[in-house]
Structure 1
Amino acid sequence: MKKNIAIIMGGYSSEVNISLKSGNVVYQYLNTEKYNPYRVHILKEKWVALDKYNTEFPIDKDDFSAVINGQKINFDCVFNAIHGTPGEDGKILAYLELLNIKHTSAPFYQMALTFNKRDCLSVVKQYGIKTATSYFLNKGDTLSTSEIIDKVGLPCFVKPNNAGSSYGISKVKILEELIPAIEKAYKEDTEILIESFLDGREVTIGVIQYKNEIKVLPITEIVTENDFFDYEAKYEGKSEEITPANLSKKLKEKLEKVAIKTYKALNMSGFSRTEYIIVNGEPHFLEMNTVPGLTAASIIPQQAGEAGIDLEDLFDNAIEMALKN
């Protein structure tokens, strides 16, 4: 019997439109001989399932079901394609786990941990994984720009603590840019992370569960036209993504080893894509994305394709791993 799969997409953050694109790609490529896929829009104003004609049917939040064309549909598995809250921060996954519904992401606590940049950094540091020097701020804290610069130096990066797709991030080159950058970040979150600038090559590494094993996908180097890998660079063609990256065998092996160490240190499962800056031959962890972009042009699908895994296989594997876990 075919499994009913809910592909959740949308969300409550600035990334809603990116998530809708990812979710629709998953819907397009799921094997309909094995699955009955349903798109489920999780939006602030409504939770609805869509049929193939885009007719909306309300989700019953008591059991995460929907009555579609007179038939009650219960879902065997949820494919999480929500970037940001409530998918990438674990909130909706905690709800699904209470209902005993399988999903393609890591358990809710791991998702919440990796989404919180400060907490994630504190864990990986304990495992000896190198990071940038950082400074934390909460909204309402007394600001000392001299104290911040004394610790992290210039240039530095100001980031919302809980946000993705580079929303709210600024590269600060001079002292006068610091306060506007902090104000910009506070528009996305009440917690801020300020990090020292790491001068080196940027790579992003996909690590997934594939056929019951942890698999490191071919590494991608990011060469951006902008000051950093910001929204324009990620989604509007202002960067070059080189897959596989041109790396020496020794450096490639070091990066793969660190990527697996990070994945295990954070007790991850499912998808992950992690950014590192290579400084003097040493990888420095930036952040982990646990619901990476899944369009045909996105990095994880590029890396999977280089590894001989097409989109249908990539998405099918995610569901199979979820059903077994």
Structure 2
Amino acid sequence: MRVLVIGGGQNAEHEVSLASAAAVAGALRSGGHDVSEVTITPEGVWRVPGQRDATTAVASLASALPLLAEVDVVFPAVHGPLGEDGALAAVCALAGVRVVGSGPRAGAIGMDKWATKLVAQAAGLRVARGRLMEAADIGDAEFDGPVVVKPVSAGSSYGVGLAREEGDLAGALREAARFDRRILIEEIVRGREIDVAVLREARGVRWAAPPLEIETSGLFDTATKYDGTARFTVPARLTPGEQSALSRAALTMFDALGCAGVARMDFFLTDDGPILNEVNTMPGLTAASQVPRMFAAADVAYVDLVDRLVRAAEVPGR
């Protein structure tokens, strides 16, 4: 198949997205697909190999759009806002082009941690108690115990901080506000950090891969995520009941959001069962990322995984 892989993006996950896109493109070529690539710079300029670089974002997008007519599928390996949040899927929907992954609605809701919590609760899943705050109101924030502070729409744990004492709160809020004007303040949940990946195959069959456990000495923040100090165990050591509960919860959330392709659901496993932390509708996709590791544990090799994603691609909204 002719596949256009889009990497980069206009957010803090730019470098992570470049790595995912390069890995995906390489795997697709290994699987026999005809691959072309486009990179979106942090300034929003679309760079097409072999074409002269445009000077503005709008001019570059105009020059890149004809590529959509030349491919069978678009693989938007762009994490974070203006990518994973459904923006690129919306472009493909307007053009009537098949796209890997979730459509605009699921991407937008999944990127918004507050909206995700509301959907999860409506679907019968447990979430951490929390409240929403505007960056403009940081000066009025009151400390009511140790909390986790997060930007509402950001990935790779950028802007996530822990306020154990009152003096920590203002700094944590300011850091989160660097990434989004909306900030989520949540109670601290104590439990094992377990991720579950769900894949929707061609013809609509969807299934959960063996769960993965993240083991770290502190908060699983951006530094810990990428400096190699966190340990991933897959399959996670779980009882049959725990694994069943996590898989059911992951599939429930996947369906509630209307996800497609692959999505990663992050949970805390407590003594009372799973608590949903967040959803990633375009998770990291290098061979060493969490999602490919989980499917490798189910005997789905990396090249096979990206091939399945391409073959399951659909035009959003149809």
Q: Retained in 1: the 8 A contact 2:101–2:261?
A: yes
Alignment correspondent of 1:14: 12
- Please state if 1:313 is matched with 2:304: yes
Task: Quote the sequence identity (%).
Answer: 28
**Which amino acid counterpart does residue 246 of structure 2 have in structure 1?**
L
The counterpart of 1:262, out of the listed 223, 243, 253, is: 253
What one-letter code is carried by the residue in structure 2 that aligns with 1:27?
A
Within-5 A mapping of 1:127-142: 127-141=123-137
1:82-121 equivalences under 5 Å are: 82-121=78-117
Letter in 2 for 1:135: R
What number of residue pairs does the alignment pair up?
A: 309
Asked if the contact 2:81/2:111 (under 8 Å) is kept, the reply is: no
Q: Using the alignment, how far apart are the partners of 1:251 and 1:223 within structure 2?
A: 17
Unaligned runs of 5+ in 2: 55-59
Offset of residue 5 of structure 1: 0.9
Q: Which amino acid aligns with 1:129?
A: L
The corresponding residue for 1:80 is 76
More helix by share: 2
Query: What is the 5 A alignment of 1:55-66?
Result: 61=62, 64-66=65-67
Shift of 1:275: 0.7
For normalisation by structure 1, the TM-score amounts to 0.90
One-letter amino acid of the counterpart of residue 15, structure 1: E
Q: Is contact 2:112-2:152 (8 Å) kept?
A: yes
**Corresponding residue for 1:125?**
121
Q: Partner residue of 2:57?
A: none
Secondary structure of the corresponding residue to residue 288 of structure 1: strand
CA–CA distance in structure 2, aligned partners of residues 186 and 179 of structure 1? 11
Q: Which has the higher contact order (CA 8 A, sep 6+)?
A: 2
The gaps in structure 1 that reach 5 residues or longer are 67-71
Amino acid at match of 2:254: Y
Tell whether the 8 Å contact from 1:292 to 1:300 is kept in structure 2 after alignment.
yes
When normalised by structure 2's length, the TM-score is 0.91
